[in-house]
Amino acid sequence: MCRALLYLGQPVLLDHLLFQPDSALIRQSYMPKMLHMLNLAGFGMCAWSRDSLNAAKPFSYAVTTLPVFDRNLKNLAEKVQAECLLAHVRGVAYNTSVEISLQNVHPFRFDGVPLVLAHNGDLARMAEMKSLLARQIRPAYLPQIRGTTDSEWIYALFLSQFAGDMAATRRFESDEVVAAVRQTLHVLREIRAALGIATSSSVNLFIANGHQIAAVRYCFDFGCYPTEDPSRVHEANLNYLSLWYTVGRTYGLHDGEWGMQGGSNGDSVIIASEPLTRDTSAWVEVPEYGMIVADSSSGHTRLQTWLLD
């Protein structure tokens, strides 16, 4: 399974999130602490900076190679600052049926759409679901699905829950994003029921648009596995996929330790598959079937949590 992180807050050097901390995201690609699988199928990110040209459009980077050996990424991370970031290292099952391609690297972003999405999980029997899913997705989004992942279909379904024009500069209320996630999960649940799918399937979601980040910790039919062939039980579905967050005024290296400073009333938030820092005392675990949203559009970052059905 994959590892991902979201950041929203004061400008931060990407190197301080991706490479430098004890459990930085790039380190998690080959040495995750809360997962026994390596994440070897690529790296992608979208980053937003108020000072950049066309600030509503994120800086995007995606490769299928191992990010720990990516000199270009390292050089960019040492120079680029951002107020918002969604980054993802892709993990897949170790077999030849998996497609490793640039089209399958997260996060996904359709043309002209402000929201981007990454996924950590695996929908069982996804091939059977696509024909029914296609009926629930807006016609404008179907041609933009270019890869083979279940994640990109979830993204298209999620976008289809919003009413009105999806302009690049559109602003979203937190309740609106939560409602779209709820409806997305509802549609997936209904389709799974129609097809008789009751196999454990994780759906941890990571969403961002430059001034807002959201993350979901969710699993369909947790604990239900095929028993006829134990070798088909995906290791990552044996437990709820991890998700953590930390809040503070500033994030960086303080007295030789990476972490947040400033307490829970700060304007900076990190949400990640697992804590980035050696000191985890300031990190809080997102509950199972929980959703967390941080929004800075008012000038002050507001953090809210919800429990999902």
Q: What is the CATH number of the domain that holds 205?
A: 3.60.20.10
285 close to 244: Cβ distance less than 8 angstroms: yes
How many residues are given for the chain? 309
Q: Please say whether the beta carbons of 122 and 1 come within 8 A.
A: yes
In one-letter notation, the amino acid at residue 30 is Y
pTM of the model: 0.95
Q: In which domain, by residue range, is 83 found? A: 3-307
Euclidean distance between the first and final Cα of the chain, in Å?
A: 23
Q: Is 236's pLDDT higher than 70?
A: no
Of the candidate ranges 98-102, 154-158, 293-297, 302-306, the one whose mean pLDDT is the lowest: 98-102
CB atoms within 10 A of CB 96: 4
Q: Which residue in this structure is represented by tokens 């989004």?
A: 141
Residue partners of 222: CB distance under 8 A and separation at least 6: 200, 237, 240, 288
User: 96 or 251: whose pLDDT is higher?
Assistant: 251
Nearest to 302 by CA among 135, 174, 146: 174
Q: What six digits make up the tokens of 35?
A: 């997962």
Domain count, the chain: 1
Sign of CA dihedral 72, 75, 78, 81: negative
257 contacts 278 by C-beta, under 8 angstroms: yes
Helices 126-134 and 150-159, axial angle in degrees (round to 10)? 20
Q: Could you read off the pLDDT of 114-152 as tens digits, one per residue? A: 999 999 999 999 999 999 999 999 999 999 999 999 999
Coil vs helix vs strand at 216: strand
